[in-house]
Amino acid sequence: MADLSQYQQFSIPGLVQVVPGTGDLPMIQITNAFAECDLFLHGAHVARFQPKGQQDVLWMSPLSAYQVGKPLRGGIPLCFPWFGAHKTNPSLPMHGFARIRTWSLASTAQLSDGRTEVVLVLNDDPETLAMWPFRFRLELKVVVGPSLEVTLLIENRGNEPFTCDEALHTYFNVADAAQCSVSGLNGVMYRDRIRFDARAVQVGDVKFQGEMVNAYMDVPGMIDLVDELSNRTFHLEQQGLGAAVVWNPWETTAAANPELKGLWRQFVCVESANCLDRHLLVLPGAAHRSFFSCQTRN
């Protein structure tokens, strides 16, 4: 059993506590008048956001490996400092190292309007510098209320500019991916990752009719994911995030993944990102702030 005594100072009776999560990974449990939320220190990973009286907004694979050094499958994995495979060294972690590092718990607070705020921090260390030779500080702020709000601050603590990617790789809990659609992307250019990054322009709503990895560039600030079977709409807002990746592996690709086999209908990913055509350039001493929120509507 992990020793969680170091986190006692962050507990707020009835609202916030740090408990042993699956795999004995330290997990922050948040419960307030609006919702419940689970947040792992491993990867600063939001694993659950369940508004009162509703189903969970997020999907977690029941087959996920809850182990140090391995990413959690589902919820909101955090991709940084690169998206996808590393361009020159494929042996480095897919989607970067932020999602497999243990973050520090910096603060917890009950806000005046009844919402709850948790702040996690990740700094460079010898292991990250061996993979990516830049000094940085990441701060992830999660606010739990009627909506889930996630703010990521990327600070350049070094003497050289760096280029990076970031993404909130959100898995949404749906009744049937084949009966979902995404609105708000009509007329937006995307790169079809399955078809060697062929470029196309979205016409109408995005429909799920097979495996899809579409990376939309220069997206609007608001997008809706419509789950037709459950009559639920996920309203997504993003600021400082210029791209959105819409993904579902469908049956064949999911079958090759031990954490997704037979489960592809249960989720759709709409990932708020800065990647591909939208890399970030962060100057020495400067910072970039990104904001994402999601709220359900019936």
pLDDT on residue 298: 80
Q: Which amino acid is at 28?
A: I
**Backbone torsions φ then ψ of 101, nearest 5 degrees:** -100, 155
- Tell me how many degrees the CA angle 44-218-134 measures, rounded to the nearest 5: 45
Q: Locate 127 and state its tokens.
A: 């292991």
Find the radius of gyration of the CA atoms of the chain. 18
Number of Cβ atoms within 10 Å of the Cβ of 146: 16
- Condensed to tens digits (0 to 9), the pLDDT of residues 94-129 reads 999 999 999 999 999 999 999 999 999 999 999 999
Q: Quick one: average pLDDT of 20-45?
A: 97
Model confidence at 252, pLDDT cuts 50, 70, 90, reads: very high
Residue 222: its pLDDT value, please? Answer: 98
262, pLDDT greater than 70: yes
Which tens digits make up the pLDDT trace of 134-183?
A: 999 999 999 999 999 999 999 999 999 999 999 999 999 999 999 999 99
Asked if residue 2 has pLDDT above 90, the reply is no
Enter the tokens of residue 206.
């995005």
CATH top-level class for 5-297?
A: mainly beta
- Residue 170 gets which letter from DSSP? P
Q: How confident is the model at residue 199 (pLDDT cuts 50, 70, 90)?
A: very high
> Does the global pTM surpass 0.75?
yes
Residue 71: band (very low, low, confident or very high) from pLDDT cuts 50, 70, 90: very high
Please state, in angstroms and rounded to a whole number, the distance separating the CA atoms of residues 226 and 223: 10
